[in-house]
A and B are shown apart, each in its own frame.
Chain A
Amino acid sequence: MNFELTEEHNMMREMVRDFAETEAGPGAEERDEKEEFPLDLWKKAAELGLAGVTFPEEYGGVGADYISYAITVEELSRVDPSLGVTVSAHASLGSNPINLFGTPEQKEKYLSKLATGEHMGAFGLTESMAGSDASGTRTTAVREGDEYIINGSKIFITNGYYADTYVITAQMDKSKGNKGIAAFIIEKGTPGFTFGKKEKKMGIRASATYELVFEDVHIPKENLLGEEGQGFKIAMVTLDYGRIGIASQALGIAQGAYEQALKYSKERVQFGQTLSQFQVTQFKLADMEIQIEAARNLVYKAAYLAGEHQPVSKAAAIAKVFAAETANKVATEAVQILGGYGYTRDYPAERFMRDAKITEIYEGTSEIQRIVIASHILKD
């Protein structure tokens, strides 16, 4: 067993941290305030290869392992969780299903642009009647000649509006339930495909969250991803891997909030000593460190398994639920250590606390993660 990160991992961490601190850090607060999507930062991140860390070199990706990807999302989120999820949703959700299930032609056409970041990807599963329960999918797809015709809508779509390609699920045969669902690749600009409501959110406010609307959208049959009826499976496998991205985002949020609290505790003087000299603060800091260290090990373990092509579903669910709950505990405690200042927008602690909450909700709520974990425990 080897707990050592490679020299490349350390160089990647240093590079992404440098990029995040110098490029993303200064405007993060303002983008949060104005709900402004970090499009320029996305382009710069793509130039550094952050859009396609795990994708094969033959399609323009970096060809690095999943730990490299986890480190990338962690370090971006340590400074700007909105940028972290933009990259994660693009890579894990918008691009990876094409990488995993696409034909060579689909990979050539779509993955080669997604892996370099020339295009941005998004993924549409959730609907108003289908959240944790994908079987409620009401968006429909009907085969007609050489085309599929899509009707319906998707909500809460990360990278919506800004993304160039969307992997979405639609029901083809309601009588078959989940087995009637298929996945499709839809390009932005296809007639009938429009964007609805932009969500105003509590946290990750610089991340774009849109409704997708499909009104008689004709797409070529070549844009079916996998086979008809395979859509639900594609979505579940995509989410299994995607959870590594969100777990990494949560880890980065926890780390960012903790560092803020640690720094402040060494500076703030009350009753003649720094907060860090009070045992009550020391215990808080120690508890944060314990949880972050445990979360990091779980996240990297899941990433390691993904890189080794081993079953990842249970490990990713464990990592995601633990890292998300860690992010929330640590960020809340960080605000507490900063006291009144922590509650103001003068410090990023409150932003981390608002950003943390979503990690317990999207890409499978913490409750769903526990269902996934329990189903693995009880399988035999």
Chain B
Amino acid sequence: MNIVVTLKQTFDTEAKIALTSSGSIDDNGVKQVINPYDEYAIEEALKLKEANEGSEVTLVSVGGAGTESAIRTALAMGADQAVLVSDPTLEAVDELVAADILAKAIAQIPYDIILSGRIAVDDGSAQVAVRLAEALGLPSVSSIQKLEITGQSAVATRDIDGGSETIEVPLPAVFTAQKGLNEPRLPGMKGIMAAKKKELKVLTLADLETSAAALNAGSKVTSYSLPTPRSAGKIISGEPAQQAAELAKLLREEAKVI
């Protein structure tokens, strides 16, 4: 079985976000990790590989040269090889462009199952994997919590409001991983040592027979802004009865929550 996992490198979830003087997100010195939801996808791919002898797991990603460290970590976890589309001419990549590039890269390799994270924790759009399925003309099931493969079809279970839903789709198909699907493994020492020997193919847009000009973004980020910093709290003094009355008044008139 050929299993493809799409992977995105994102900021560590504990990273402090700052903006540069030109208003873009400052990635200087920020710890980068594999998008946590993509880790579930990788783990599921590795479990499928272990259960189906002769399977291969291929990682596919779009990003800058920095993405290689996230890819190496996923290779250390046990993926077999990786394809990174990295092109200096590629600037603003929206969900449409990302899906388009991934589809072109995946179309060049064999696949039975494509796994992805449900959402990337940085821009949080949850669009790319679904758009990828559309671009490849494949069925897709989002936010799965269980996946079973039998022959040429797959049965996936996902949480829905008030219960769960079980969906059967023919393969190949795209699935996005929700938290709870599995517990991602740590890469072992041997995996880390083996990772550098595994193939990481870096492709440019020309290798995919396209160019930055031919990829039309559907949307454009106009500006970023940080949340307003929390202002200092207010301490109410006086007798308990006075304090309670003052608190009620402030909650009604100032905070307007009651």
Chain A contacts to B: CB under 8 angstroms: 7-8, 11-12, 14-15, 18-19, 47-50, 53, 62-64, 68, 72
Contacts and interface: CB of A to CB of B under 8 A. Distances in A.
A12 B186 contact: no
Interface of B: 69, 72-73, 76, 186-193, 195-196
A48 B193 contact: no
Contacts of B190: 49, 62
Chief secondary structure at chain B's binding surface: helix
Given A62-B193, A63-B193, A64-B193, A11 B187 contact: yes
Nearest to B68: A7
Nearest to A116: B190
Nearest to B76: A11
A7 B196 contact: yes
Given A8-B196, A12-B192, A64-B193, A48 B186 contact: yes
Contacts of B191: 49
Contact of B192 (A15, A18, A19, A47): A15
16 contacts: A7-B69, A7-B72, A8-B193, A14-B73, A15-B186, A15-B187, A15-B188, A18-B186, A48-B188, A48-B189, A49-B190, A50-B189, A62-B190, A64-B189, A68-B189, A72-B189
A50 to B, nearest CB: 6
Contacts of A72: 189
A52 to B, nearest CB: 8
Q: Which 6 A-B pairs have the closest CB atoms?
A: A49-B189, A62-B189, A48-B188, A49-B188, A11-B192, A49-B190
Given A11-B76, A11-B192, A50-B189, 10 more contacts: A7-B72, A11-B73, A12-B189, A12-B192, A15-B188, A15-B192, A48-B186, A49-B188, A62-B190, A64-B193
Contacts of A53: 189
Contacts of A14: 73
Nearest to B31: A14
B1 to A, nearest CB: 25
Contacts of B193: 8, 62-64
Contacts of A64: 189, 193
Contacts of B192: 8, 11-12, 15
Contact of B72 (A11, A18, A50, A68): A11
A15 B186 CA distance: 6
Contacts of A47: 188
Contacts of B69: 7
Given A7-B196, A8-B193, A62-B193, A19 B186 contact: yes
Of B72, B187, B190, chain A has the most CB atoms within 10 Å of the CB of: B190
Nearest to B186: A15
A68 B186 CA distance: 16
A63 B195 CA distance: 14
Contacts of B195: 8, 11
Nearest to A44: B186
A219 B145 CA distance: 55
Nearest to A15: B186
A220 B133 CA distance: 66
A7 B197 CA distance: 13
A60 to B, nearest CB: 9
A154 to B, nearest CB: 31
A309 to B, nearest CB: 19
Nearest to B191: A49
